[in-house]
Structure 1
Amino acid sequence: MSARSRTAEQAEDGAGSWKASLPCSKAEAEALQEDISPLALLDEPPVLMSSEPDPARPDEWRLDAYFAAEPTAEMLAMLQALAPSSAGAAPTVERVEARDWVTLSQQGLEPIQAGHFFVHTPAHRDKVPADSIAFEIDAGRAFGTGQHETTSGCLVALSKLKDQGIRVSNLLDLGTGTGLLAFAAMRLWPTARAAASDIDPVSIEVTEENAAINQIRVGRGPGHVELAVAAGLEHGRLRQRAPYDLIIANILAGPLIELAPSVSKALEAGGRLILAGLLDSHAGAVAAAYRRHGLMLGFRVQHGEWPTLVMRKRKSLGWR
């Protein structure tokens, strides 16, 4: 059962909610749009909402966490870890009227138009443009709702590859989060075989739920996405499916560099690699790690301080 349905049932039953609040920076608030781990792994994860209390102080934000029951000291410590700038400030905790906080938080998430894609929450189903490829992604338990620049940058990169006439028959979304990027690639190349993996089992559960919502077929054949819980390419099925002609890896700079040998090996000669989850200051090191394994930079998508790198494996080297 999803966090959203649990929260809705609690509201209907009249149970109370608890709110814990902390000051945070704007950067910390933006990061929370995509990743609430380890709180996301709780049996009843809280709903996080961030706000800018005073527009005259644009870097001073507030983080509110809504829990189904009174949060423990361990939960509050997890919350505080999401806002390092608040070190030394104890969270304020209070009991509040029970409401469906997930639905309310989603109402504040505006739809995203990125490349050929329109990504929205259930609250904006009536706003889908007729000429867009639309996906409904619930905000909540996993990274990759389209709100963050890293995810939207990948959507733009996929759109550009399609517009360039690139053909894809076998793709991998490494660190899939919500499944959105795998789904987007499948809409552009509907006959391709796809795999989506994540180190977090919750993400794979969320991806399966989102696949059903967006009418994406789960399985091993053409036009299907195969799901796997795996760290990097450490899964028999992911290795068996190689070589891939498209790999998407929207993770973090450190893991991207660490995975460069195995990811490059799994990419076929001439194949494309989309790298995201890195800041401008990390782009050079990440690109260099993959150049050492025979890849060259094709183009770059820039959203704020978050670049998306699209690289291609040199044909002369082969994938093995």
Structure 2
Amino acid sequence: MPQDQISTPLTKDQAYALVDAVMERDDLALTASAHENEDTGEWFFEATCDSPPDIKAFEALAQTVLGGDVNFAINPIAEDTDWVSRSLEGLKPVLAGGFYVYGGHESTPPPAGVIPIHIDAAQAFGTGHHETTTGCLEAIQRVLKRKRPMRPIDVGTGTGILAIAVAKRRKIPVIASDIDPLAVRITRENARLNGVGHLIVEVDAAGLDHTTIQGNAPYDLIIANILAGPLVTLSPGIGRIAEKGAAIILSGLLNTQAQRVIAAYNRQGMVLKDRIVRKDWTTLVLEKA
């Protein structure tokens, strides 16, 4: 499906406020972010939308949130653009949580004492370079230092990187689900590439109602690196499939969105145990009471 990127320059606080407001809704954007131009120091709001974007709705929301008129620029995204491949160009391997994530373009062998994870460029989220992914890898290491989960699930697996990390560290089967069939196929390929194809159970599922997910519940480790809105929506379902004492790792949320997510999971009987902040992004570790 054709997609467009819309953007506008704002102050840092304005950009983050608009991101929060957009991500509260399910009808405006696929994703939204705030970022700083390192050369000029100028901040921008950006959102990726199905084409054509509802500019009038964006303008109305900006008027409500920011109290003034905002003009958005629209940039069509070529349908054959592989954003992950482009983002990997020139990127170095990532070391996080004792895991070493690298691409096929890397010629230097992994250092000693780490768990290597080979993730090549693919049309799915999760190459290891984003703060949400490194935060989750760090959270996995912290959880596995004090727990020995036997029934883990990775919801919204993307490239499968987090499911692969758990499988390589624990050497146990991991359910890896995603709403996108392409992500499921890429996860299968990456699992084989990393020698854990026999341990990763890929599931093409929207939400948690799939028979494989329900049939293997309850889970003692649940990982979901998606977005704040879907995390809140999934909180009752995650509460139902989590066994008592289960560790729940949540990411994909901005620092400003963390309290909203914590509150939603508190209502389902899950309490905050740890928090990892990397730049503007937060990873939460909760436990089913």
Instruction: Calculate the TM-score normalised by the size of structure 1.
Output: 0.68
1:65-104 superposed matches below 5 A: 87-88=72-73
Inter-partner Cα distance in structure 1 for 2:137 and 2:261? 20
Structure 1 residue runs of 5 or longer lacking an equivalent are: 1-19, 32-36, 39-51, 63-73, 94-99, 219-223, 315-320
- Give the match for residue 3 of structure 1: none
- Give the match for residue 226 of structure 2: 251
Match of 1:173 among 154, 178, 181: 154
Aligned residues: 250
1:76-225 superposed matches below 5 A: 87-88=72-73, 106-164=88-146, 166-190=147-171, 192-218=172-198, 224-225=199-200
Computed over aligned residues only, the root mean square deviation of the Cα atoms, in angstroms, reads 3.6
Inter-partner Cα distance in structure 2 for 1:213 and 1:225? 12
Inter-partner Cα distance in structure 2 for 1:161 and 1:92? 39
Task: Give the Å deviation of 1:106.
Answer: 3.0
Match of 1:281 among 226, 244, 256: 256
| Deviation digits for residues 151-175 of structure 1 (CA, Å, limit 9, x no counterpart) | 11000000111223x1110100000
Q: 1:290 to 1:132 in 2, by over 3 A?
A: same
Inter-partner Cα distance in structure 2 for 1:140 and 1:210? 10
Task: Give the Å deviation of 1:289.
Answer: 1.0
CA contact (8 A) 2:84 2:125 kept: no
Match of 2:209 among 230, 234, 239: 234
Percent identity of the aligned residues? 39
> In structure 1, the residue corresponding to 2:108 is in which secondary structure?
helix
Computing the radius of gyration over CA atoms, which structure comes out larger, 1 or 2? 1
| Deviation digits for residues 226-257 of structure 1 (CA, Å, limit 9, x no counterpart) | 11000111200100000110000111111111
Q: 1:128 to 1:262 in 2, by over 3 A?
A: same
Instruction: Calculate the TM-score normalised by the size of structure 2.
Output: 0.74
Q: 1:198 to 1:104 in 2, by over 3 A?
A: closer
Residue identity in the other structure for 1:213:
L
- Give the match for residue 284 of structure 2: 309
- Give the match for residue 24 of structure 2: none
